[in-house]
Structure 1
Amino acid sequence: MLLSQFSRVDGTPQIVARDGPEAYEVKTDLSLYALAMECIEMGQGLRDRIASLGMGVAVDLDALYAKRRLLPPVTHPDPAHLHLTGTGLTHLGSASTRADMHKKTTGDETDSMKMFRMGVEGGKPANGTAGVQPEWFYKGNGTVLTFPGAPLVSPDFAEDGGEEPEIAGIYLIAPDGTPVRLGWALANEFSDHVMERRNYLYLAHSKLRPAALGPELLIGDLPDHIEGTSRVYRDGTVLFEKPFLSGEANMSHSFANLEHHHFKYPLFRQPGDLHIHMFGTATLSFADGVQTRDGDIFEIEATPFGLPLRNQLAFTPLGKPEPCTEIRSL
């Protein structure tokens, strides 16, 4: 089942569900966040709860997308309690791109390659034990979550704005502190690869950018093998197009291991918080020499996730001096 939300005329979210090509309003006034909290309290799954509520009128998701009325499939009523985070070097093939960016003149193995090899050797532990921890990064809170179809805004001090086609897990923390996975969605993790290439210690800076979440939430199990396509359009034509693979069959870590190493911190198990955790990629247009420009359109699609994720880049040209932030004394 795929779940989505659109903005009603009064601005409140309406949940939409579909199991095939036809989409229907779910008979509820609740947001998906509120409905999920209700499901946790009732001990009922999302699919069963939606079935009990019933379906209303049919919905044209493509038309709503064109009108920019589609919302992320789930949001938090308080953006400060939504966490955008991710892991890197998790996909087979991802190390070569990163290693090229951080190549050492001595020819020694890069730290990125060492981290990747650690994941290959210990990222899928058996018997429910914890494996090697992955690279982890923070992107921001709900204030930087970009809606499907909305611009991805690169700050004026950025050196680049590049797409990263990923799968994200969406989690709600139950009242007892247990992370509950609501489902999976496409994501554009959107980073500053020029800054990252300058020095890998700038990775944390390069990730402090907006991120976009796909229009539809896949509930239930994620396929082990996922094939998708990442595109960059410029002036109406395809500038870049490349397939990407995801799912555990194409990863050096298991999802269980990646989830453990995020939620092992009590900080990320605060009741009521919402987490969007992105699981990495091996495909970047930047790695193929693409320099994005203001107005380029990113498109990420993969069959299990329904509608593609599209966002236009809003990028301030380089050369503008970085403003100095003014601090006021109290």
Structure 2
Amino acid sequence: MTYLRLLQHRAADGARSVILAEGDAAHVLPGVTSIRELALRAIADGVSLADAARACGQGEAIDIAAEHAAGRLIAPIDHEDPAHLLMTGTGLTHLGSAEGRDKMHAAAIANEQQTDSMRMFLEGLEGGKPAAGEVGQQPEWFYKGDGSQLVGPGDTLTMPAFSQDGGEEPELAGIYLVGEDGTVYRLGLALANEFSDHVTERHNYLWLAHSKLRQAALGPELLIGTPPTHIEGTSKIVRAGETIWEKPFLSGEGNMSHSFDNLEHHHFKYDLFRRAGDVHVHFFGTATLSFSDAVQTEEGDVFEISAAPFTLPVSNPLARAEVQTATVKAL
């Protein structure tokens, strides 16, 4: 099956355009400079995003692999005001996700105690895919930051100077736009590296919120239309040109303990997440982490995540920010 993908392109002079790709063919959409702009047009016209894209006509044919290699493809969603793009996520949502998390809580397991993580996973396994019209079990939820924390498919992921770790999380991310009447529209799915500090999380699970306040990266393609229920991909870490860790991962609803509908309900049930015009990037979780295999990442490592039907990877080098001191003054 061939899936439609939308991409955002930025030329050397800063000019932006949107690309529609189907199979190996891709072309520029005339008269459109952002996917958000195209989505607003689709909402106004009462048509699907795919129909809105096709209605633009066909501009110049383009080689998206070459443009990706040249660094001219940017994240497939953004907002002119980064404060109106919110990044959030849910954990323990995949059928194998509890195993990796429980490795972080080995002491509790040794004492034959069921961890909070395992309880949440089992509750999600039982109630995460409710029948139509019903509300299922709420998942673990976290906040990552606003649009200032979103990086492109080949950009550097920079961990704060105080980070104890910078580790990959190969995931799918749902991309959403809130309409003027508060209706939430799922634009599509993107390949993602959710990127977290697993050492901080392992030290104390109550520090999960701290560990998630990090940058995140999206692959260049927005998969639109009905997504596949089974997605297979590969996550790897490259150091000095050599692959030091590589592992397959599974995603899509068929490999999850929660349905997309249930995860979306428990995010957008809050009024503050249905603010007109806002963009949401919501990470759906993973079951595969190099950290679970005792890999210690280093500055300069490159995280590379790929998965069909996406044709391009998200590939990001790791860096550490310089020390910055937060100054608070009484006024």
Is structure 2 residue 91 aligned with structure 1 residue 93? no
Q: Which moved more, 1:137-146 or 1:58-67?
A: 58-67
Alignment partners' CA distance in 2, 1:50 and 1:7: 18
Residues 122-201 of structure 1 aligned to structure 2 (within 5 Å): 122-201=127-206
Q: What is the Cα deviation at residue 90 of structure 1?
A: 0.3
Q: TM-score under structure 1 normalisation?
A: 0.96
The residue identity in structure 1 corresponding to 2:157 is L
The residue identity in structure 1 corresponding to 2:47 is Q
Number of the residue aligned with 1:298: 303
The residue identity in structure 2 corresponding to 1:62 is A
Number of the residue aligned with 1:57: 60
The residue identity in structure 2 corresponding to 1:301 is S
Residue 139 of structure 1 aligns to a residue whose secondary structure is strand
Number of the residue aligned with 2:8: 5
Residue deviations 1:298-328 (CA, integer Å, cap 9, x gap): 1111111221111111136xxx9x7542113
The residue identity in structure 2 corresponding to 1:92 is L
Residue 214 of structure 1 aligns to a residue whose secondary structure is strand
Q: Give unmatched runs, 5+ long, in structure 2.
A: none
Say if 1:102 and 1:199, in contact at 8 Å, map to a contact too.
no
Number of the residue aligned with 2:23: 20
The alignment of Structure 1 onto Structure 2 pairs a total of residues equal to 326
Is structure 2 residue 112 aligned with structure 1 residue 111? no
Q: What is the Cα deviation at residue 60 of structure 1?
A: 2.0
Q: Which moved more, 1:36-45 or 1:133-142?
A: 36-45
Q: CA RMSD in A?
A: 1.3
The residue identity in structure 1 corresponding to 2:272 is L
The residue identity in structure 2 corresponding to 1:226 is I
Residue deviations 1:231-254 (CA, integer Å, cap 9, x gap): 110110111110001111111111
Say if 2:177 and 2:184, in contact at 8 Å, map to a contact too.
yes
Residue deviations 1:93-122 (CA, integer Å, cap 9, x gap): 100110110231522011100000000111
Alignment partners' CA distance in 1, 2:132 and 2:173: 25
Say if 2:32 and 2:38, in contact at 8 Å, map to a contact too.
no
Say if 1:2 and 1:306, in contact at 8 Å, map to a contact too.
no
Say if 1:293 and 1:315, in contact at 8 Å, map to a contact too.
no
Number of the residue aligned with 2:329: 328
Alignment partners' CA distance in 2, 1:31 and 1:324: 36
Alignment partners' CA distance in 2, 1:205 and 1:191: 9
Match of 2:215 among 210, 217, 224: 210
Number of the residue aligned with 1:71: 74
Q: What is the Cα deviation at residue 31 of structure 1?
A: 1.4
Residue 300 of structure 1 aligns to a residue whose secondary structure is strand
Residue 309 of structure 2 aligns to a residue whose secondary structure is helix
Q: What is the Cα deviation at residue 30 of structure 1?
A: 3.0
Q: TM-score under structure 2 normalisation?
A: 0.96
Alignment partners' CA distance in 1, 2:320 and 2:329: 29
Alignment partners' CA distance in 2, 1:217 and 1:298: 20
The residue identity in structure 2 corresponding to 1:230 is S
Alignment partners' CA distance in 1, 2:261 and 2:136: 9
Residue deviations 1:277-297 (CA, integer Å, cap 9, x gap): 010000000101110001101
Say if 1:185 and 1:214, in contact at 8 Å, map to a contact too.
yes
Q: Runs of 4 or more off by more than 6 Å in structure 1?
A: none
Residues 256-295 of structure 1 aligned to structure 2 (within 5 Å): 256-295=261-300
Q: Which moved more, 1:189-198 or 1:28-37?
A: 28-37
Residue deviations 1:224-272 (CA, integer Å, cap 9, x gap): 1111110110110111110001111111111100000000000000000
Residue 286 of structure 2 aligns to a residue whose secondary structure is coil
Say if 1:295 and 1:315, in contact at 8 Å, map to a contact too.
no
Number of the residue aligned with 2:43: 40
Alignment partners' CA distance in 1, 2:313 and 2:12: 24
The residue identity in structure 1 corresponding to 2:25 is E
